[in-house]
Amino acid sequence: MASLNVGSLGEYIREQRRNAQYSLRQLADAAGVSNPYLSQIERGLRKPSAEILQQIAKALRISAESLYVQAGILDERDRDGLEVHHAILTDPTINERQKQVLLQIYDSFRKENGVVDGAAAPGGAGGVDPGTRDHQPREAADPVAEPDDAAAEPAEPAEPAGAPVARAAAKTAKKVVRRVAGRGVRASRATGDAADDAPGGAAEDASQATGDASRTPAEDAGGDAAPEAAPA
């Protein structure tokens, strides 16, 4: 329970309920949970499961993920970079080349904004050396032990198309598009390794990431400086 801000979740749910102009009982009925329990959730007295949050989100016509973020089940900051990559890569509605094009444009945008590439590997550096006997199993590994940083900087205000920044973005996109389309690969080659043909940066970064991931967590943990679990 330590990782959750239950009070914040409850306030958020109550706010969403009021925005939707539901009474407590109406939302409880719509969500299929008991109204006293919903009251307890909103007042921060109970920590609902993901299933209950799904039901509440569905009844409120909001995304379950927004409740998950409030509940600490999802980390909003993890969406940075990695989330867009993952979302694009797993999207079945565009083909592989389109994915590559989108990703390269996206990465170029991020570079323009001074964001260093190489999003954290999923899961991050966690776990303890399982071979260490003096490890106290009762000390739960804190999933995301993050300091309370300042809020993320607000997004830049929207600019009209044709403004310098818009033109710069378009220019970057054009550059990437030209680079992808222009690479000399004969059309007669029926198959090929797309990664080999992609521009150096992203592909090389990706292969490096893949190389690091080949070590199992157990092998990593066996090293000299095995990471320790964050204190509870």
**Ranges within 130-189 binding a copy of itself (CB under 8 A):** 130-131, 135, 137-141, 143-144, 152-153, 155-167, 169-174, 176-178, 180-187, 189
**Least distance (Å) between residue 208 CB and a copy of itself:** 16
> How far apart are alpha carbons 62 and 67 in whole angstroms?
8
13 in Cβ contact with 24 (< 8 Å): no
- Looking at residues 30 to 69 of the shown chain, list those that interact with a copy of itself (rule: CB under 8 A): 30-35, 49-51, 54-55, 57-66, 68
**Least distance (Å) between residue 4 CB and DNA:** 8
Q: 21 vs 113, which CB is nearer to DNA? A: 21
Distance linking the first and last C-alpha atoms of the chain: 11
Give which of 13, 24, 103 is closest to 58, Cα–Cα: 13
Q: 8 vs 63, which CB is nearer to a copy of itself? A: 63
Sign of CA dihedral 165, 167, 168, 170: positive
81 in Cβ contact with 119 (< 8 Å): yes
- Looking at residues 133 to 162 of the shown chain, list those that interact with DNA (rule: CB under 7 A): 133, 137-138, 140
Q: Among 5, 7, 19, 43, which residue interacts with DNA (rule: CB under 7 A)?
A: 43
Provide the token pair at 77.
Answer: 């900051």
3-state secondary structure of 137: coil
Is position 35 an interface residue for DNA (rule: CB under 7 A)?
yes
Q: Among 20, 30, 44, 47, which residue interacts with DNA (rule: CB under 7 A)?
A: 47
C-alpha angle with apex 47: 63 to 147, nearest 5 degrees?
80
> How far apart are alpha carbons 79 and 125 in whole angstroms?
17
**Least distance (Å) between residue 25 CB and DNA:** 4
Query: Hunting for tokens 């680079």 — which residue is that?
Result: 179
Q: Among 11, 40, 78, 205, which residue interacts with DNA (rule: CB under 7 A)?
A: 40
Give which of 1, 31, 3 is closest to 13, Cα–Cα: 31
- Looking at residues 69 to 88 of the shown chain, list those that interact with a copy of itself (rule: CB under 8 A): 71-74, 76, 79-81, 83-84, 86-88
C-alpha 130: how far from chain center: 28
Is position 231 an interface residue for DNA (rule: CB under 7 A)?
no
Q: Among 42, 64, 69, 101, which residue interacts with DNA (rule: CB under 7 A)?
A: 42
Q: Among 26, 39, 40, 205, which residue interacts with a copy of itself (rule: CB under 8 A)?
A: 26
Residues near DNA (CB under 7 A) are 1, 23-26, 32-37, 39-40, 42-43, 45-49, 51-52, 133, 137-138, 140
